[in-house]
Amino acid sequence: MKLKAVYILIFFIILNYSNFLNAKEKNCFYCKKYKYLKDWPVDKRPKPFIYEKIEYPKDMFSKMTINNSKFIKKRASEIVNIRFVKAKGSLKKYQHLMIRDAAYFEAMFNETLLDKRATVESLENLKKARDALRQSLKISPNTSSSEAVYKFWATGKLMTKIYKKNRKNKKKKKILEDKEVKKRVKILEDLKKQIQTTRINAQKAAMIEAEKSINAKK
């Protein structure tokens, strides 16, 4: 999927995510039977709604955070809020961060499955947003959370590396262009000086010839 298409998809995800948070009418299936996660027996849940123990990438969370599910959920939620809500206007510019931080969306959803106070309605809505986000990398809704996390994280890091390399190359190109411009400016300045010198010398030569002509007539 082309990045432009990905950006459009993410835009609708953000829009839908905001609608999910503010929706007044229930738009869910399991929530009609179970209000809270604690009311929903694990053996009655589809696989996507069962918590998965994930060994997150080492550089995804701090050492203090990684060993505590509540801390993981809190940190993931903060990043999701920053990237997909507060900074949604910069998603097109920083698409590499958008893909990378989709891993935090996965983490947020997965760790919420341990919160017995979570409403089933909110979980169903989060899953819809998560599944839509997965479409950006053609990840199946049935793919495990751990696999999705690693795909988003690895792809995001690769895109970040490419972004930085392109940015560095653009900077080098600009420096080279600036050097070329300065070189041309210097050539023009030297040429102007030569023309000025030639003009002055021509005027002197003309004056000398004029004096010779006048003296010859005397």
Tens-place pLDDT, residues 105-136: 999 999 999 999 999 999 999 999 899 888 88
Q: How far apart are the first and last CA of the chain?
A: 93
3-state secondary structure of 167: helix
Cα–Cα dist 155/97, whole Å:
10
Q: Over 70: is that where the pLDDT of 57 sits? A: yes
Tens-place pLDDT, residues 146-203: 999 999 999 999 999 998 888 777 766 666 666 666 676 676 666 566 656 655 655 5
pTM of the model: 0.69
State mean pLDDT over 93-100.
88
Is 105 buried (19+), middle (13-18) or exposed (0-12) by CB count in 10 A? Answer: buried
**What residue segments make up the domains of the chain, in order of their start?**
3-171
